[in-house]
Structure 1
C-alpha cells in the first residue's frame, strides 16, 4: 500500500484521548489508525483494517499497549468464517485492578464460529469502524427510518476480547445515522463518504479533510 489519501483526527469526549487514522477508500477501505485513551488504564491502540470492495471486513490487526503489558489480535474473514490469532505479554489485569477496575477477558474469542453472519468489526472507542456497515449497506442512500439489524465482531479496547454483538443502524436523513445496541443509542452525523463527523458522547472530528475519491490520485 502506497501513500494513503486522507488523514482524519477525532477528539474523544468520554475520556481524555484521541484517534488519528490514515485511510484510502477508493476500493473499499484500507486504514491504519492509532487511538490514545487515559481510561480504564492509559494505553495506546494501533490498528490496521482492510475490507473488500463492497466494504465487508476482510482483516483487522490491532495491538494495545500500556505500562507493563501488551496485547494483540488478528481477525480474518474468509468464505464466511472468522479466524482469530492472539498474543499477550505482561499483565493487563494487574494494571486494571490497581486502577480500581475488574479484570479483563482474554484477547480474541474462544469460538470464532460465534461470529458467523458478522461482516463488520467494531473497535470500541473508534468512530471509524461505524463507517463499515454504513458503507456496506449503502445507508446514506437507503430509505429513511428503515432499521437494519446486524451482527458484528465487537473488539473491546484495551483487552482485545472479541464478542459477538447485535447492533441496529437506521438512516435518519441529512447525513445522520442512528446507531443502537441493546443498552445504548446515538445519532451519528457523517460526511458524504459516511465517515463520522460527530458521535455524541464519544468523539468529534476536528479536521474533516477527506478528499473525495474522485480527487485522489
Structure 2
C-alpha cells in the first residue's frame, strides 16, 4: 500500500491517498481538505474492476452548509448510478474523475500505459465536482509525451503531467504537486 500526499494548490489544500495497485486493479481511500471554492473536507473510497475500470467511488464532503454524500457506481457495462439514480449523461464512461484529486488520473494512464508507451486516448469521464459532488460528463484526452510525461486536455484546458513508474501523479501544473514518495 502506498501513502501519497499532494499539495493541491488549486484548492489551497492538501490530499492524502492510501492506494494499492495489483493485477490491473486499484483500491484507494483518501482525505482532502481545501479552502477553494469554499472550505471543505472530503473523504473518499475508490475501487476498480479489472483493467482499472472504475467500479465504485464513495465520497463524503463536509462544508459549512452541511454534509453531502455520493455513491457513484459503474456496472461494468457502461451504465452509472449516483446514489441509486441512473446517470445516462455519462453512459459509456469507464472512469470517474474526482475534481481536484490527482489520484483519479491514474486509472486511464495505467490502463493504456500512457506514462510508458506512445499513444493518445480520448475518454468520457464521470467527473465529480468538489465540494458539491455533482456528476457531469467530461471529455478528456491523454497523450504520451515521453517516459513519465502525459498531456491532459479537456475542452480549452491543457496541462503536461508528470507520473512516476507506478502511474501516480508527481506534478500536475495548475492543480497539485506530490509532497511524498510512495
Same fold (TM over 0.5): yes
Q: TM-score, normalised by structure 2?
A: 0.94
Of 45, 48, 55, 1:51 maps to 48
Q: Residue 11 of structure 1 aligns with which residue?
A: 7
After TM superposition, where is structure 1 displaced by more than 2 Å over at least 4 residues in a row? Answer: none
Can you give the 5+ residue segments of structure 2 that lack an aligned partner in the other structure? none
Contact 2:162–2:170 at 8 Å: present in 1 too?
yes
Post-superposition offset of 1:111: 5.1
Post-superposition offset of 1:162: 0.2
1:178 aligns with 2:151: yes
Q: Residue 122 of structure 1 aligns with which residue?
A: 97
The SS at the match of 2:43 is strand
Paired with 1:192 and 1:162, the residues of 2 have a C-alpha distance of: 30
The number of equivalent residue pairs is 180
Structure with larger Rg? 1
1:190 aligns with 2:163: yes
Of 79, 82, 92, 2:80 maps to 82
1:162 aligns with 2:135: yes
Paired with 2:11 and 2:107, the residues of 1 have a C-alpha distance of: 24
Can you give the 5+ residue segments of structure 1 that lack an aligned partner in the other structure? 87-109, 211-217
Root-mean-square deviation (CA), in Å? 1.4
Name whichever of 30-39 and 62-71 sits farther off: 62-71
Q: TM-score, normalised by structure 1?
A: 0.79
The SS at the match of 2:71 is strand
Contact 2:10–2:36 at 8 Å: present in 1 too?
no
The SS at the match of 2:96 is strand
